[in-house]
Amino acid sequence: MLDIKFVRENPDIVKENIKKKFQDHKLPMVDEVIELDAERRKTQQEADDLKAARNKISKEIGKLMGQGKRAEAEEIKKQVAADGAKIEELTQKEKELSERVLKLMMTIPNIIDPSVPIGKDDSENVEVTRYGEPVVPEFDIPYHTEIMEKFKGIDLDAARKVAGNGFYYLMGDIARLHSAVISYARDFMIDRGFTYCVPPFMIRSEVVTGVMSFAEMDAMMYKIEGEDLYLIGTSEHSMIGKFIDTIIPEDQLPHTLTSYSPCFRKEKGAHGLEERGVYRIHQFEKQEMIVVCKPEDSPMWFDKLWQNTVDLFRSLDIPVRTLECCSGDLADLKVKSVDVEAWSPRQKKYFEVGSCSNLGDAQARRLKIRVNAKDGKYFAHTLNNTVVAPPRMLIAFLENNLQADGSVRIPEALRPYMGGKTEIR
């Protein structure tokens, strides 16, 4: 969320940013929010003036009563009562205007970084760098669920009966591989200086609206009926929420955390052939990383975060590439974002396995995450990135480590988490 003062003083910049994100339907919101904010401030000032006047004349009542001027005192009491009613009316009006301003401000997109490429959607994202050599083996690679089924490692039919589409049972060595990847990712991030955390898996609505846009909320979140609670779609929501309404001493920054959690997502919309199996599902587990830092440090942390994911995948012999997300592919709160994509030798192309985002002070402004510095308080910057999400990681892992005889090679880094196994047969 932007600073309302910034919007008032820079309406043209805000409108140009909206155009870059191809959200022209939001252009009228800029003028509307400025007008509403002016009316809100005028209403607030009128109420403050009346309160000051009321306080002044209220002091006269006692004097007049002491002087025996009861009739004059009663007239002033009537004026005080009338002013009180008007103040209450203005206070209610100011509250309603503030709510309308806030709703619009939470819909107007954040200012994107100047380095972000301009484009309408993810088809216009820009490849940055490739890491590792993509290989297409001479033998055919089956669809990932077929590989798992050969090891008796997945049961989609039973899961469909128990929970419906978008769920699965993982079994045997495939289930163990899933847990091994999570454990390895946890230790990988701890070794890089991040503090390990297991967060709440449900969050209140004030946290939800603090960490994401309304559109994202509607498309992703499961609401607990009868409770002010939502199942988390990703653990950074809960992790950033940890700092809600706090004032952090500047010398305690940065906060660097890595978290494990299950994730729950509606995953609205129809999905294509390549998104069957465990590619796009309603429940999965994930290792995440978040940073809360000083504004001047967020670009540096942004580069460190996506590099962590690249390094983890490369340590498991999986080729990856980074993509710079274009303006139209950025969620409204994001300043800049890079996707990490893994190589699929079966599809002969890359697919997304993680996303790194710098949100500037947008989340901190919504959640009131402030920093106490020597020269005053300011809003922190927040960043997040996927370390690994095993469903998609499993796809990349199995395809890139499948051998001609049908076995799956276990890279050296993962072997301690698989009981020393060098392959799955």
Question: Are the C-beta atoms of 388 and 287 separated by less than 8 Å?
Answer: yes
Q: Can you tell me the mean pLDDT for 86-91?
A: 89
**Whole-Å CA distances, 268 to 38, 351, 390:** 39, 19, 21
- 394 burial class (0-12, 13-18, 19+ CB within 10 angstroms)? buried
Q: Identify whether the C-beta of residue 258 lies closer than 8 Å to the C-beta of residue 190.
A: yes
Least confident of 81-85, 253-257, 336-340, 358-362: 81-85
| pLDDT for residue 306 is more than 70 | yes
191-200, 279-288, 336-345, 377-386: range with lowest mean pLDDT: 279-288
Judged by average pLDDT, the poorest of 80-89, 270-279, 380-389, 416-425 is 270-279
pLDDT score of 333: 94
- Sorted by where each begins, the domain ranges of the chain are 4-105, 122-424
Residue 58: pLDDT band (50, 70, 90) is low
CATH 1.10.15.40 fits 4-105, yes or no: no
How far apart CA 69 and CA 55 sit, in angstroms, is: 19
Q: What is the pLDDT of residue 174?
A: 96
Question: Could you say which architecture CATH assigns to the domain 122-424?
Answer: 2-Layer Sandwich (3.30)
pLDDT tens digit sequence for 128-142: 999 999 999 999 999
Beta strand pairing call for 255-264 and 195-197: parallel
pLDDT above 90 for 368 = yes
**Max mean pLDDT range (52-56, 72-76, 151-155):** 151-155
State which H helix or E strand residue 257 sits in.
strand 255-264
Residue with tokens 């950025």: 330
Model pLDDT for residues 261-286, shown as the tens digit of each residue: 999 998 765 455 455 678 788 999 99
Higher local confidence (pLDDT), 272 or 320: 320
